[in-house]
Amino acid sequence: MKKRFISLISLFFIIILACCLNDNTIPEKNREVIYQFSTIESLLEGVYDGNLTFGELKNHGDYGLGTIDSLDGEMIQVEGNFYQIKVDGIAYPVFDDQKTPFAVVSFFDLDKSFVAEGELDYKELTELIDSNIPTKNIYYIIKVHGNFEYVKTRSVPSQSKPYPPLSKAVENQRIFELNNVNGTLIGFRIPENIGEINVPGYHFHFITDDKKTGGHVLDLLIKNQIVEIDYTSDLFLDSPDNLDFLMYDSGKDRSEELDTVEKGK
């Protein structure tokens, strides 16, 4: 009887364990983590081979940005769905088996919202956000949805090996200017003390509501829009296991390159 009782207890714990392993619910604590795959420094160096599938990436967030294997355009994630804005300016759905060399995603949970009153450009918007956050030493996910009077975006063409550094790749970028469009702006504010892991300050991507176009944001003009912010204190950095990432020179000063790449100069 005693052995039978022990066996029933064992069976009970096996069933509980199986249920836990099959539960795809993201634990609540993991929603407050920004998940980043690879580093901006390696991307600047030309490490463009995709090493993580989007099927895996979507387990870590429902909003985010990044790029696609071989630097083939700009990626934005909205409401759990990934889109690839190629150099033709068209937004394409991203499939689970496609891969990324660099991405930043998180689960968006609203902590604060405010109205950006009046007409604001990119610089004015970021300054306003800075004045509405409690500290500059944590991470923020920023979302703006609505009508945009003007959005200037870019995308870059797919690269071939041997890959050039990112500052060279963006020399062939295509610029798109959108006027009076409805869409979603997704971005991150990264602390200055992050070093070469990510882009210090602001980084935004955009996609129109009809999911037809968008890209990396260079400038914008909004008027009386609601800005939504998610405060996030933790960052999880996942490193690629490919040889290019393991062997690139991480000792260079890339501040000038980063400024060129982000601002499109």
Cα angle: 253, vertex 251, 235; to 5 degrees? 85
162/14: higher pLDDT: 162
> pLDDT class for 13, splitting at 50, 70, 90?
very low
Residues present in the chain in total = 265
204 backbone dihedrals φ, ψ, rounded to 5°: -125, 145
Which domains does the chain carry? 29-263 (3.30.1330.80)
pLDDT in tens, 194-219: 877 898 999 999 999 999 999 999 99
| pLDDT higher than threshold 80 for residue 18 | no
The Cα–Cα gap between 187 and 63 comes to 9
62/25: higher pLDDT: 62
Its pTM stands at 0.85
169/29: higher pLDDT: 169
| pLDDT higher than threshold 80 for residue 9 | no
The Cα–Cα gap between 85 and 144 comes to 19
Q: Which of 28-37, 79-88, 253-262 has the highest mean pLDDT?
A: 79-88
| pLDDT higher than threshold 50 for residue 165 | yes
**Residue 260, pLDDT score:** 65
pLDDT in tens, 117-163: 999 999 999 999 999 999 999 999 999 999 999 999 999 999 999 99
The Cα–Cα gap between 77 and 75 comes to 7
Evaluate whether 222 touches 137 at the Cβ level (below 8 Å): no
Evaluate whether 175 touches 188 at the Cβ level (below 8 Å): no
- Stretch 257-262: mean pLDDT: 66
Cα angle: 8, vertex 12, 16; to 5 degrees? 170
**Residue 265, pLDDT score:** 59
CB burial of 171-207 (b: ≥16 within 10 Å; e: otherwise) equals: eebbebebeebebbbbbbbbbeebebebbbebbbbbb
> pLDDT class for 250, splitting at 50, 70, 90?
low
Average pLDDT, the chain: 88
**Residue 253, pLDDT score:** 65
